[in-house]
Amino acid sequence: MQEHISDTDIVFVGGGISAQLISRYLKIKFPSKKITILERNTHGKWSPGESTVGVAGLFLIRDLGLSTYCYLNHLPKNGLRYFFQNSEENLSIEQCSEIGSNIFPVFPTFQLDRKRFSEDLWKMNSDLGIDIKLGAEVQDCDINQNYQLNNVSYSLNGQIYSLNCDWLIHATGRSGKILPNLHSKNPVIEDLDHSISAAWGRYRKVGDLDCLGSKSWRKRVGFTSRYLSTIHCMARGYWIWIIPIGNNIVSFGIVYDRNITESNHSGIEVDINLNESLQTSEGFDCFIKRNQVVSQLLENAEMLDFQSAEQLSYRREQFCHSDHWAFVGESFGFIDPFYSPGSDVISRQAYLLEHLLNSEEDKLEQTVSMFNQYCHYEFDLIRELYVGQYEGFGSFDVFNIKGLWDFHTYSNRMIWNFYDERFKDMDFIRREIDSAPVTLRLTRAIQKGFIALSKFLQEEGTYYGRNHGLYSLRQNRFRNEEDILLNYDEARSLEEHLHICQLCICEMLNIRFNLNELECSGFVQENLNFSVMQTFELSDKWMISFCQRLGKSLSRHIRRQYDVKLDFHISTEDFQMEMPKSIIASLPKDSPKRKFILEAVKAIWTSKSNNSVLNELVIPPKKTSI
């Protein structure tokens, strides 16, 4: 028999982290709304999503009132840290080149024990007035158009119930085809171009990273805790995460790009079928221990659980609909865990849902259309950071540049926008959609550069060249986050964006064309504007056209200053000189202005860049003397 339960305003189908965070936010914003969560489990479960980054950290402490709770019950996170191996993966942790920080992050982020987090949030949200029904398995729903209530049916303790609601929020994670009625309205779009898979598990009695190394190795990070960082053991085609989640339990996982690991011609160092081996806990345990860093930590450890997922990346056609339904968290989609983005996306979705609930019915269609566009744009943008990039994950040289661009852009644009509460402003979302094509073009150009750089280093045989014994403090970008708290504005953020793009393009060109500190040249910087950078390719062809541009720009400078028409031709060798070679030849020897023009050219050519990111953040990698 089906029993009807009284109406509610919002129903969340699924009570995982997305439902818990978003429902809490909405209850705080709309205290009088009735919110119900239907969750099939009765106990929390360990699941991935343990590491939070800046946006989610802010959301937890600023918007959800969970600061004290997180500090007292979970682990504060000491940023992200990367270790690079040689091709045999047999370097000890001290020998691996490392990218990290020696200061603690300014924005609070946490490593969450997801099991505990779920159970605590169920209790805390219930105390806030959210109706949480544990053990309630949802069967299906009816979506009613024309402002009629939606309806959900679920089973609980052997009984079938039905529940009417104004908004239905699908939050069942990657459970796929649950709610056939709704699933057919909003099908999954596969993302086979980004063919990544993962396997993971938790261990206890794991070695303490902070007791492993020598004193000088610990000193180089200012004795800050490496244990509390999200550790990434990097390799070509895959990476292994190490995340402590409290009570001496540590999560280990591997994420790999099947396009690379399955390619016979890839020359990859993986000599087994990863997909097959990583289906079982034994295969997983055995494979991750091939990396000496992991085997050092797992020497006396015991495995507690194991899970795997075959195809991580996908998305739904729509985030929300004017028939009052929305898909949040992994129900909407997922790309890649590399930068721990899951709870960040959830935080932004909470803001979008607040808008939807505030929207007048006659404007809802328009808002829905805008949000669907925004969510797809955001998905496409974040996806650019990952697709094809596993190619370069094994090389310190590649990632030292890519990591800087990805992180700096993240804190400078994503955290700044969230910190400044721009998601509350519909005009901001509209502007983001309008500028999406340009943003995507620029991001794509730079990210393709990283792939081209990886391939170049492989061809040159120098891919692993600097994986031994270096450390880079590029994660000290936290300084930039400190600025965001103190004295930041949109103009500064845009300037930093320009500078980080210029800097990273120059660093790639340095390696590709064997140049020296191109990023320090004010003249090069002046000519790398946003529209030029959108066309960037790490290739001979692009470099030739950029040199032509420099030649024309130099000619223009001289024409303006001295009213002399000259054609300057620049080549890559000129970057090592005081002034381009061709200039001396192209100036008539008897010209009365010759001396002044040469001086002017030299001044322009050797002018120093005012790149704020370079000046404040970039410390060249150091050789360790451990």
The strand pair at 2-13 and 35-39 is best described as parallel
How far apart (Å, rounded) are the C-alpha atoms in residues 103 and 109?
Answer: 14
How far apart (Å, rounded) are the C-alpha atoms in residues 538 and 511?
Answer: 10
Q: Do 395 and 403 touch, CB atoms closer than 8 A?
A: no
Three-state DSSP at 137 gives strand
228 binds ligand FAD (CB under 6 A): no
Single out the residue of 8, 47, 476, 521 in contact with ligand FAD (rule: CB under 6 A): 47
> Minimum CB separation from ligand FAD for residue 45, in Å?
7
Chain mean position to CA 568: 42
Instruction: Please list, in sequence order, all residues whose beta carbon lies within 8 angstroms of the beta carbon of residue 519, skipping any fewer than 6 positions away.
Output: 502, 503, 506, 507, 510, 525, 609, 611, 614, 618
233 binds ligand FAD (CB under 6 A): no
Q: Do 133 and 39 touch, CB atoms closer than 8 A?
A: yes
51 binds ligand FAD (CB under 6 A): yes
Helices (H) and strands (E) in the chain, counts: 25, 22
Single out the residue of 54, 57, 173, 213 in contact with ligand FAD (rule: CB under 6 A): 173
55 binds ligand FAD (CB under 6 A): no
Q: Which is nearer to ligand FAD, 173 or 237 (CB)?
A: 173
Single out the residue of 18, 85, 97, 229 in contact with ligand FAD (rule: CB under 6 A): 18
The stretch among 123-131, 141-149, 166-174, 598-606 that binds ligand FAD (CB under 6 A) is: 166-174
Q: Which is nearer to ligand FAD, 63 or 483 (CB)?
A: 63
Q: Which is nearer to ligand FAD, 346 or 368 (CB)?
A: 346
50 binds ligand FAD (CB under 6 A): yes
Chain mean position to CA 600: 44
Q: Using CA atoms in the order 57, 58, 59, 60, what is the torsion angle rounded to 10 degrees?
A: 50
- Residue 117's CB is within 10 A of a number of other CB atoms, namely 24
16 binds ligand FAD (CB under 6 A): yes
Q: What are the phi and psi torsion angles at 140 (to 5°)?
A: -160, 180
439 binds ligand FAD (CB under 6 A): no
Site string (300-339) toward ligand FAD, x via CB under 6 A:
---------x--x----------------xxx-----x--
Please give the size of the binding site for ligand FAD, defined by CB under 6 A.
Answer: 36
378 binds ligand FAD (CB under 6 A): no
Q: Which is nearer to ligand FAD, 308 or 480 (CB)?
A: 308
37 binds ligand FAD (CB under 6 A): no
The stretch among 50-58, 296-304, 357-365, 506-514 that binds ligand FAD (CB under 6 A) is: 50-58
Contacts of residues 175-179 at CB distance under 8 Å and 24 or more positions apart, as own/partner, are 175/14, 175/331, 178/13, 178/138, 179/13, 179/138, 179/140, 179/141
365 binds ligand FAD (CB under 6 A): no
Q: Do 185 and 281 touch, CB atoms closer than 8 A?
A: no
394 binds ligand FAD (CB under 6 A): no
89 binds ligand FAD (CB under 6 A): no
Residue sitting closest to ligand FAD (CB): 16
Q: Which is nearer to ligand FAD, 100 or 621 (CB)?
A: 100
DSSP per residue, 587-619 = S-TT-TTHHHHHHHHHHHHTPBP--HHHHHH--
Instruction: Please list, in sequence order, all residues whose beta carbon lies within 8 angstroms of the beta carbon of residue 190, skipping any fewer than 6 positions away.
Output: 311, 314
Q: Which is nearer to ligand FAD, 167 or 463 (CB)?
A: 167
Footprint of ligand FAD (CB under 6 A)? 13-19, 38-41, 47-52, 137-138, 171-173, 175, 178, 198, 200, 253, 309, 312, 329-331, 337, 340, 342-343
